[in-house]
Structure 1
Amino acid sequence: MAPTIHCVRHAQGVHNLCTANHVIPDPLLTDLGHEQCAKLREVFPYHDKIDLVTASPLRRTIYTALESFEPVFQAHPEFKLIALPDLQETSDVPCDTGSEPQALQQEFAGKNVDLDMVHEGWNSKTGRYAPINSALRERARAARRWLKARPEKEIVMVTHGGFLHYFTEDWEDHSQYQGTGWSNTEFRSYTFSDEDHNADLEGHAVDGDNATLVETAESRQRRGKVGPTPDRAQQKTLYQLGTQSWNQQLSTEEQDSAKVPEGEEVNGVRV
Structure 2
Amino acid sequence: MPPVVILIRHAQALHNKGINQCQTLANQLEADFPHATEGCRIVVSPLSRTLQTVQHSLGWLLDRGVPVVARAEWQEDTANPCDVGADRSELEKDWPGYDFSQLDPVYPQKIGLYGPEEKTIRERAAVARKWLAEQTDKCLVVVTHSGFLNRVVQGPRYRNVEYRTYKIERNDSGEVELVELAEQSKDIPGREE
Shift of 1:85: 0.3
5 Å-filtered alignment, 1:85-234, equals 85-109=72-96, 112-170=97-155, 172=156, 181-196=157-172, 198=173, 209-219=174-184, 222-223=186-187
* Match of residue 53 from structure 2: 64
Shift of 1:31: 2.7
* Conserved? CA contact 1:83–1:114, under 8 Å: yes
Q: Structure 1: 5+ residue runs without aligned partners?
A: 14-28, 173-180, 199-208, 224-266
- Whole-angstrom CA distance in 2 between matches of 1:184 and 1:101: 26
1:62 partner SS: helix
The number of residues matched between the two structures is 187
**Structure 1 residue 49 and structure 2 residue 36: aligned?**
yes
* TM-score normalised by length of structure 2: 0.89
Rg (Cα) greater in structure: 1
* Conserved? CA contact 1:47–1:72, under 8 Å: no
Change (3 A) 1:156 1:130: same
2:46 partner SS: coil
* Partner of residue 33 from structure 1, selected from 18, 24, 27: 18
- Whole-angstrom CA distance in 2 between matches of 1:164 and 1:190: 13
* Match of residue 64 from structure 2: 75
Q: Percent identity?
A: 30
- Whole-angstrom CA distance in 2 between matches of 1:97 and 1:70: 25
Change (3 A) 1:64 1:120: same
- Whole-angstrom CA distance in 2 between matches of 1:137 and 1:31: 34
1:7 partner SS: strand
- Whole-angstrom CA distance in 2 between matches of 1:128 and 1:194: 22
**Structure 1 residue 269 and structure 2 residue 187: aligned?**
no
TM-superposition CA deviations, 1:164-211 (whole Å, max 9, x none) = 0111122x3xxxxxxxx2111110001112533x3xxxxxxxxxx421
- Whole-angstrom CA distance in 2 between matches of 1:128 and 1:118: 13
Q: Structure 2: 5+ residue runs without aligned partners?
A: none
2:63 partner SS: helix
User: With CA pairs under 8 Å and 6+ residues apart, which has the higher RCO, 1 or 2?
Assistant: 2
Structure with the larger strand share: 2
Letter aligned with residue 108 of structure 1: W
* TM-score normalised by length of structure 1: 0.65
